[in-house]
Amino acid sequence: MAKKKSKCYSGIGGQAVLEGVMMKNKDKYAVAVRRPDGGISVEVDNYQGVLSGNKIKEIPFIRGIFNFVDSLVLGMKCLNYSASFYEEEDGKTDKSDGAGDKFMIGLVTCFSVVLAVGIFIVLPYYLASALNGYLRNPSLVAIIEGLVRILIFILYVSGISIMKDIRRLYRYHGAEHKCINCIERGRPLTVDNAMRSSRLHKRCGTSFLFFVFFVSIILFFFIRVENPVWRVGLRILLMPVVAGISYEIIRLAGRSDSLFVRILSAPGMAIQRMSTKEPDREMVEVAVASVEAVFDWKTYLKETFGYEFDQSLDWEEQGD
């Protein structure tokens, strides 16, 4: 008899890449890419991240900072790998992963962080500061700054979807979520079951970024200085703190299905409707290949939900 559980944390996560999906389980990750010839290539490797094995990475509110950095570096590496298939199609066949490639990944990652800080931290501050001549209430200006930050984020997520490649990336993002939801709902990981699963997930990076902006509103509301340069500087310096707090919230959201957590997750889930789109079966096939390369979902179903997968039965019949 199957255990009556509605949803259980699996520990796997991932991201969409160019024509593919990356899935990570502990230190092991896999990138599955739909090649131009229609086949699926899967690369499996280990990524331990910065300060590997250091106990500091296990400390609450600090571990989130390192997890964020690791996700940026690994994400850029996986995007490079997926793009290499289409560079090859265009006549560029160099797939080397030497010191030059690692340097470029680091450079692009740093540039992306600087650009994000400028758009989502510095720009909202100066836009809100323009209201100082009209509003004499610093608390209200601080709240408006936070709301402007969230608005810019929503416009950014929605605006880039105009690009054809980004729309396809959003569909692979949906395929990634569908596979994780399929497993965590206790369903065998088949293309049919995944297609029936939700494309929204509480542990999504989109939700994490929403929490980053939401937490920053609260933090910046209470921490104030008079000097404008210091105000901007403090916002940038406190972002690791904000990321650490946000990580703990998203971690809680992934492990709880309580009413409070569902309410807390609702805004991020709403934004996910823009950052994920419905995938087709071929996209889900790629996501399934990525999951199966790093995660034994059959053992997970047996240990967590109490039944063994029988390919001859529909998932609704499993465990009866």
State the average pLDDT over residues 267-273. 96
State the average pLDDT over residues 6-17. 90
Query: What is the model's pLDDT at position 131?
Result: 87
State the average pLDDT over residues 255-283. 94
Contacts of 310 (CB under 8 A, 6+ apart): 317, 318
Q: pLDDT at residue 221 above 90?
A: no
State the average pLDDT over residues 195-199. 97
Q: pLDDT at residue 317 above 50?
A: no
Burial of 129 (0-12, 13-18, 19+ CB in 10 A): middle
Q: pLDDT at residue 115 above 70?
A: yes
Which value, to the nearest 10 degrees, does the dihedral of the CA atoms of residues 107, 111, 113, 114 take?
140
Query: What is the model's pLDDT at position 228?
Result: 85
